[in-house]
Structure 1
Amino acid sequence: MAQHNLGTVIRFEVVRTLSKRRFWVATLLVPVLLIVVFLLVFLSNTATDETEGAQKDAQFSFDYTDASGLVEPAMVKRLGGKEISDPAAGIAAVKDATVAAFFLYPKDPATDTIKVYGVDKGLFANGQYASVAESILQQSALAKVNAPQLTGIIQGNITIDTTTFKDGAVAGGMNAVIPAMLFVVIFYVVILLLGGQMLNSTLEEKENRVTEMILTTIRPTSLILGKVISLFIIGIVQMLVFAVPVVLAHVFFRNQLSLPDLDLSALVFDPQTMIVGTLVLIGGFALFTTTLVALGAAMPTAKDAGPVFGAMMLLIFIPFYIISLIISDPGAVIVQIFSYFPYSAPITALLRNAFGTLPLWQAIIIIVMLFGISAVVLRIAVKIFQYGSIEYSRKVNLRDVFHRRATP
């Protein structure tokens, strides 16, 4: 009977949630917004490329004075400029719009400021004056360097290949971090979007005054466990819905949207890292789910549960305030506290796991802690729901719950 009740609860909760219009509105809102953003980025990039191409091909007249003697006259002449001797005359010509720009090169451009004067063409277009003035000086300096190797080094035409080793093997580097960071993204998306659903999974019955009737046919343990399992299933459905537009955008519109050109074959899926990430993700999700279900069972209304719910949501963002320590100094006291405090442990552990600063023995302790506390909170949620089924007007007193549990 218990197994039958559990399956009934899971089926009922999943079907009820998936059949609600507001669930799909909230779920599809993120993909729709992503599509809109992708389209805006695509249109923006297209317009930017056209503008940059037009600026790159634009020609304008300019004068210059060169106290340094570095500027190559032949180069300037090809660009449509000419040298003059009087800076005041150059500035006056710009003011009168006789020429588009005037460049004043000082005696020592390395220490003194290069003065650029131009006819106003708008904030964005005005940047081309300084770019041309700088390019002329750089190209003139490079032309005076006779060694091709030095010219290449000055221009930055060098390639550096860095190889690091971990435990005697080549380390994955960023290619190993990216797959593990997906667990962080999944955790945030699921918790933020399902948090309200977790809280209302037990509050709804209490607000509708039907808990007593439900408990006459279904055991409290089966009811709460069924709700938790159904939330896992709903979370998987949401993740699949969110992933579709991202995958399609990356596969078909990567170049148009200027998305990172990830070579999936180069990604490193370290077995230990992926297993630890999966277990921490599941354990963290289970802890927050059971806690929010217990919170919903203890509170008479969603308004009463709001402040505690907000505080719990805040806990998952706190580790990002110390992310530099998590990466560079995982042994810091604050990092260790966040790693073992249950409600900050999931994100902290996932970040440390992604950046390779979480030893296996610490990962095992954290995983056992998350699953263990989740089981304890689940039992407490059952007791709270069972005891609080008749508490429609006030919060459930935990001391009364435990006292009642202790008495035969």
Structure 2
Amino acid sequence: MKSSSRFTANSMNWRKAEMAMGQHNLGTVISFEFFRTIKKRGFVIATLALPVILVLIFALVYASNASTKDTAAAQKSARFAFTYTDASGIIVPAAAKLAGGTVAGDPAAAIAAVKDGTSEAYFAYPADPAKESVKVYGADKGMFENDKYQAVAKELLAVSAQNQVGSPELTAALTGAVKFDSQTFKDGSVAPGVGGIIPPLLFLVVFYISMILLSNQMLNSTLEEKENRVTEMILTTLNPTTLITGKIISLFAVGLVQILVFLAPVGLAYLFFRDRLALPEVDLSSLVFEPGPMITGALLTLGGFTVFTGVLVAIGAIMPTAKEAGTVFGPLVAMMFIPFYTFSLIISNPGALIVQIFTYFPLTAPVTALLRNGFGTLNPVEATVVVVELFVVGTLILRLAVHLFRYGSIEYGRKLSIAGTFRRNELAAK
């Protein structure tokens, strides 16, 4: 009964759409597919689920960080008494006294006092701290609070050593407090560094997000009508190319809606609660948006989207059910992540054979080329070749997908034979 009612509902929807699509209006197809998708209960739940979860996580992190800061502040201001022995002669008695320490006459007695709880801590500084360990004994206060003993012992040794040196300049050099300002040059100009790597890599993030959000919908967009047995009726009034193009554009618009919904809580959290959520501060002034890598990144993203869209639509046209299409869908999505297994080679040795194969193989080219583009190892010639290849291959696959959909839309019980569709086409031409 559910299957029958579902078929009837879809048939009625498509009958209404047919009346408006009599002239093969692409805009009508896009509008119909877009609103049909976003009105589904499952889409609304799936789209809102992640933002709601993010809001709850941010709220918990906010509350936890507030509690942690209060605890850390209390611990930082808290003082404790300790005893110490100094065989090195480095420790300054005045500094130790200021920190709450007193000299112990007998190390064994000092350790025994810590054990029986009459003393909170005891530090034993060896004759040569460079070769021997500083022994720290303390009363158990819990895993996190116990760290205070070693921290105080270390700080006391550092302050005393700085006092022995007597030179702020030497102290800064020895403790690593000296700041360095480095500049590198490329083609006679200052190289952008990390600030020039991040912007092009954002296209890789966009590519992954769009494919993760849209790939399953692309696969099922043609299978849904096929499983509901309404494709014959659709194709009597609508050109397959118009239908496929409309579906792709509408799904891309749906993906943009999902991305905006997902990013909204992150953006709000960063703008208003960044300190409490301990989110890293992003200095936008350090980012360098070079025209070449940015344009290349945009073209690689669109080209990769075209290739994967064509492949997914073709799979949907060939397979009779979503269950059978899922067996191919998993390995296809895995192809987007395979290049990361050669991440170190992509960065350090882009001329390696495996990197070159991944750069030009259509299903791994988008991710590999986007990585190389971000890290500056994709030269203009390679970028041009990959971009042209992706758009040409993507267009050919989309044309093949439309051809397969024309014949596969009425194959309900078995997989479509690609070679068989071309034989039918030749017979029809004769």
> Which TM-score tier does this pair reach, normalised by the shorter chain?
over 0.9
| Residue in structure 2 matched with residue 20 of structure 1 by the alignment | 40
Structure 1 residue ranges without an equivalent (≥5): none
2:221 is aligned with 1:201: yes
Superposed displacement of residue 162, structure 1: 0.9
| Residue in structure 2 matched with residue 325 of structure 1 by the alignment | 345
| Residue in structure 2 matched with residue 292 of structure 1 by the alignment | 312
2:174 is aligned with 1:154: yes
Contact kept? 1:184, 1:347, Cα under 8 Å: yes
Structure 2 residue ranges without an equivalent (≥5): 1-20
Equivalent of 1:128 in 135, 148, 156: 148
Contact kept? 1:2, 1:219, Cα under 8 Å: no
| Residue in structure 1 matched with residue 3 of structure 2 by the alignment | none
| Root-mean-square deviation over aligned CA pairs | 1.6
| Residue in structure 1 matched with residue 60 of structure 2 by the alignment | 40
Contact kept? 2:24, 2:238, Cα under 8 Å: no
1: distance between equivalents of 2:316 and 2:372?
A: 31
Superposed displacement of residue 2, structure 1: 8.9
Superposed displacement of residue 18, structure 1: 1.7
Contact kept? 1:2, 1:222, Cα under 8 Å: no
1: distance between equivalents of 2:417 and 2:223?
A: 16
| Residue in structure 1 matched with residue 187 of structure 2 by the alignment | 167
2: distance between equivalents of 1:253 and 1:180?
A: 27
Secondary structure at the aligned position of 2:52 is classed as helix
Q: Percent identity?
A: 57
| Residue in structure 2 matched with residue 341 of structure 1 by the alignment | 361
2:112 is aligned with 1:92: yes
Q: In the superposition, relative to structure 1, how do residues 37 and 178 fare at CA in structure 2: closer, same or farther (>3 Å)?
A: farther
Letter in structure 1 aligned against 2:46: A
| Residue in structure 1 matched with residue 14 of structure 2 by the alignment | none
1: distance between equivalents of 2:189 and 2:57?
A: 41
Equivalent of 1:363 in 383, 400, 408: 383
Q: In the superposition, relative to structure 1, how do residues 275 and 2 fare at CA in structure 2: closer, same or farther (>3 Å)?
A: farther
Equivalent of 1:224 in 230, 244, 249: 244
| Residue in structure 1 matched with residue 92 of structure 2 by the alignment | 72
| Residue in structure 2 matched with residue 54 of structure 1 by the alignment | 74
Superposed displacement of residue 35, structure 1: 2.2
1:286-313, CA deviations, whole angstroms, 9 ceiling, x for partnerless residues?
2111211111111111110112101111
Secondary structure at the aligned position of 1:64 is classed as strand
Q: In the superposition, relative to structure 1, how do residues 388 and 340 fare at CA in structure 2: closer, same or farther (>3 Å)?
A: same
Q: How does 1:177-326 map to 2 (within 5 A)?
A: 177-326=197-346
1:179-202, CA deviations, whole angstroms, 9 ceiling, x for partnerless residues?
222111111111111111011000
Contact kept? 2:91, 2:156, Cα under 8 Å: yes
1: distance between equivalents of 2:290 and 2:270?
A: 23
User: Where in structure 1 do 4 or more consecutive aligned residues deviate above 6 Å?
Assistant: none
Secondary structure at the aligned position of 2:182 is classed as coil
Letter in structure 2 aligned against 1:19: K
| Residue in structure 2 matched with residue 381 of structure 1 by the alignment | 401
2: distance between equivalents of 1:220 and 1:334?
A: 39
Q: In the superposition, relative to structure 1, how do residues 327 and 191 fare at CA in structure 2: closer, same or farther (>3 Å)?
A: same
Number of matched residues?
408
2: distance between equivalents of 1:28 and 1:275?
A: 32
Q: In terms of mean alpha carbon deviation, does 80-89 or 135-144 score higher?
A: 80-89
Contact kept? 2:24, 2:239, Cα under 8 Å: no
Secondary structure at the aligned position of 2:416 is classed as coil
Q: In the superposition, relative to structure 1, how do residues 18 and 350 fare at CA in structure 2: closer, same or farther (>3 Å)?
A: same
Secondary structure at the aligned position of 1:116 is classed as strand
